[in-house]
């Protein structure tokens, strides 16, 4: 069993759509590290679905996810787990705005992030300063109760997970420091069409979560027949 500090763990790698050789290449790691599980499915379904798919197969009492392809220092996982224990948390989120965080973060993105977090606080009452870092940990009970209710597959899936967790009474949601480098390059620049596409659909999905949560009460147990079937792709 692998471990982070004094915490044993398993790694689940999810390949979101077997459209290239990623699944085969990742599977080769099992020869070196038997504790690594590589999961995948044929059709690309979006980041949110991939994260939920992996979390639903986890076996530990603390279940989390870390974004691949983002310059997050993985050593921060140990810090998040320590905070989880200190606070007896339901959820711990990595936060760029934690006083102990070390981040390289363009000023344009800081402004957009601040504005988005104000919207999130107003809509959902989440009293945390950063919801978008791709490093979060949840108690297994939270995962078991929240995952079957979720709909967002691509944008704003973090918000849906946190908002529904808070709504269901898992309110011990705290932040922990991270080390992160975030730079714009090529099509990801703040003035690019791709970037504005992401921002637009991020806000659109966020408003959709608010509508389902506060107006439709879709996430209430009484509406469980409306929840998506737990199918595999």
Instruction: Tell me which long-range contacts 105-109 makes (C-beta under 8 A, separation of at least 24).
Output: 105/180, 105/182, 106/182, 106/183, 106/184, 106/190, 108/184, 108/190, 109/182, 109/184, 109/190
pLDDT of 22 reads 87
Distances (CA, A) of 129 to 107, 146, 195, 216: 16, 22, 22, 27
Q: Predicted confidence band at 153 (pLDDT cuts at 50, 70, 90)? A: confident
Q: Helix, strand, or coil here: 128?
A: coil
pLDDT in tens, 12-44: 989 988 888 889 888 888 778 878 899 999 888
Q: Helix, strand, or coil here: 173?
A: strand
Asked if pLDDT for residue 103 goes beyond 90, the answer is no
Please report, to the nearest 10 degrees, the dihedral formed by the alpha carbons of residues 158, 66, 198, 184 taken in order.
140
Asked if pLDDT for residue 200 goes beyond 50, the answer is yes
pLDDT of 61 reads 93
- Higher per-residue pLDDT: 80 or 69: 80
Asked if pLDDT for residue 187 goes beyond 50, the answer is no
Q: What percentage of the chain carries pLDDT values higher than 70?
A: 89
């Amino acid at each position: 069993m692998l471990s982070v500090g004094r915490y044993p763990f398993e790694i689940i790698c999810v390949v979101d759509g077997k459209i290239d050789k990623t699944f085969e290449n990742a599977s080769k790691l099992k020869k070196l590290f038997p504790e690594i599980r590589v999961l995948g499915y044929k059709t690309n379904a979006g980041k949110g679905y991939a994260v939920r798919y992996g979390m639903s197969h986890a076996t530990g009492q603390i279940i989390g996810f870390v974004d691949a392809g983002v310059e997050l220092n993985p050593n921060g996982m140990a810090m998040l787990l320590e905070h989880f224990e200190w606070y007896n948390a339901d959820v711990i989120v990595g936060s760029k705005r934690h006083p102990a965080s070390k981040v390289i973060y363009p000023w344009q993105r800081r402004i957009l992030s601040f504005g988005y977090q104000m919207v999130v606080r107003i809509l959902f009452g989440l009293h945390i300063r950063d919801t978008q870092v791709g490093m979060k940990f949840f108690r297994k009970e939270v995962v078991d109760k929240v995952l079957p209710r979720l709909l967002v597959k691509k944008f704003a899936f973090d918000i849906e997970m946190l908002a529904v967790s808070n709504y269901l009474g898992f309110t011990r949601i705290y932040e922990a420091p991270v080390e992160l480098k975030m730079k714009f390059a090529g099509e990801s620049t703040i003035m690019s069409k791709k970037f504005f596409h992401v921002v637009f659909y991020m806000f659109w999905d966020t408003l959709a979560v608010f509508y389902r949560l506060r107006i439709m009460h879709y996430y209430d147990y009484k509406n469980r027949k409306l929840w998506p079937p737990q199918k595999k792709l």
